[in-house]
């Protein structure tokens, strides 16, 4: 008996490659499945009509005027994408120290929410609650000198959330990282008759280097004064995520978000295992840009890298993923 035969006998004849040999068997035993219903598509909106503005740092991503955002929603719904998230590039003339435009019932996001909800009522709409697209200094809250004022910011965020809900938002998603904003927003929504509106908290949002292209897309990058380290989380810390999630759930959050995504898959899995709530991840602009630019340079296969990266979120336990690849991925899945 050769050593090779003896070795196979010792292993009980197991050949772990057997189920990998054919496509049908790989599909049959796949532990993780990605579908269009796992995806949320973030889009950037601008003023104007029939206006498209390429985002230079994000190949394939454009800012869209309201009418084209409606067409994008129709395309997303046709591919089975259940929800979209909206982010505005606010006119510089409307950016102020206190971000007051965020509370304007007729602001760009509110008009886009209403237009999409009227045209495509079946699609869920996620509205970002934070002041950075509206402030002249690029921060998520109001400032006194170099300090971000927590409670003063929360009072503005509550008003912002209400005008978004009134405009048709199905999901209110505070990304500001102020203490106490979930409880304040939940209470205000309930008091105003929006008990059914979902609260998706960016509970574990890290102070990341991967947000750069997003800030370019919404026009806040060049305006940002200083850093966001005093309110976003330290990338070195995992236990902070547990405390943040515990607090936000106690205050009334329905779902929680981890942001960024791939550098924090360990946080996604930790939170999924610890808390009995849906966990979402945001594959942020820098993650998207790395894949898109590398594909343009011929370094990797765009579709393969897109699919692999999104599968990683599902494998880590995420119920859904915010990704700029959403429409492309849904079309790939649907064939």
Say what the alpha-carbon torsion angle 66, 202, 260, 286 is, to the nearest 10 degrees. Answer: 30
Q: Give the largest Cα separation in the chain, rounded.
A: 84
Q: Which long-range contacts (CB under 8 A, 24 or more apart) does 295-298 make?
A: 296/59
Query: Helix, strand, or coil here: 70?
Result: helix
Burial of 220 (0-12, 13-18, 19+ CB in 10 A): buried
- Residue of 334, 328, 335 lying closest to 307 (CA atoms): 328
Instruction: Dump the DSSP string for 130-188.
Output: -STTTBSS--SS-EETTEEPHHHHHHHHHHHHHHHHHTT-SEEEE-S--TTHHHHHHHH
Find how far residue 89's CA is from the centre of its chain: 17
Run of H or E residues at 311: helix 302-315
Distance, in Å, from the CA atom of 66 to the CA atom of 234, rounded to the nearest integer, reads 36
- Residue of 151, 147, 171 lying closest to 161 (CA atoms): 171
Give the residue numbers annotated as catalytic, written as ranges: 205, 259
E-assigned strand segments in the chain: 39-46, 52-54, 62-65, 83-88, 124-129, 143-144, 147-148, 171-174, 198-205, 255-259, 279-283, 320-323
């Amino acid at each position: 008996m050769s050593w090779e035969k003896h070795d196979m006998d010792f292993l009980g004849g197991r050949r772990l490659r057997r189920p990998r040999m054919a496509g049908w068997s790989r599909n049959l035993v796949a532990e993780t499945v990605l579908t269009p219903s796992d995806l949320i598509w973030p889009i950037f909106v601008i003023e104007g009509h029939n206006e498209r503005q390429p985002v230079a740092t994000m190949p394939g991503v454009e800012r869209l005027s309201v009418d084209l955002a409606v067409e994008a929603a129709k395309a997303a719904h046709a591919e089975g994408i259940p929800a979209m998230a909206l982010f505005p590039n606010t006119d510089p003339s409307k950016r102020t120290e206190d971000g007051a435009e965020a509370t304007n019932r007729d602001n760009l996001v509110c008009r886009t929410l209403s237009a999409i909800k009227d045209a495509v009522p079946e699609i869920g709409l996620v509205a970002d609650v934070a002041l950075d697209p509206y402030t002249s200094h690029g921060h998520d809250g109001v400032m006194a000198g170099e300090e971000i004022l927590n409670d003063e910011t929360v009072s503005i965020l509550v008003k912002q959330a209400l005008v978004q809900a009134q405009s048709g938002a199905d999901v209110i998603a505070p990304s500001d990282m102020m203490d106490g904003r979930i409880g304040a927003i939940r209470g205000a929504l309930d008091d105003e008759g929006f008990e059914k509106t979902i609260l998706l908290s960016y509970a574990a949002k890290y102070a990341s280097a991967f947000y750069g292209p997003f800030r370019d897309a919404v026009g806040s990058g060049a305006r940002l004064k200083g850093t966001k380290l005093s309110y976003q989380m330290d990338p070195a810390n995992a236990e902070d995520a547990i405390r943040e999630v515990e607090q936000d759930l106690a205050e009334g959050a329905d779902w929680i978000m981890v942001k960024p995504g791939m550098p924090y898959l360990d946080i996604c899995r930790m939170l999924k295992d610890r808390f009995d709530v849906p966990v979402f991840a945001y594959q942020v602009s820098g993650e998207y840009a790395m894949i898109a630019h590398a594909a343009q340079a011929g370094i990797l296969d765009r579709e393969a890298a897109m699919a692999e990266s999104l599968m990683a979120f599902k494998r880590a336990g995420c119920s859904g993923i915010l990704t700029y690849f959403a429409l492309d991925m849904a079309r790939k899945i649907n064939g």
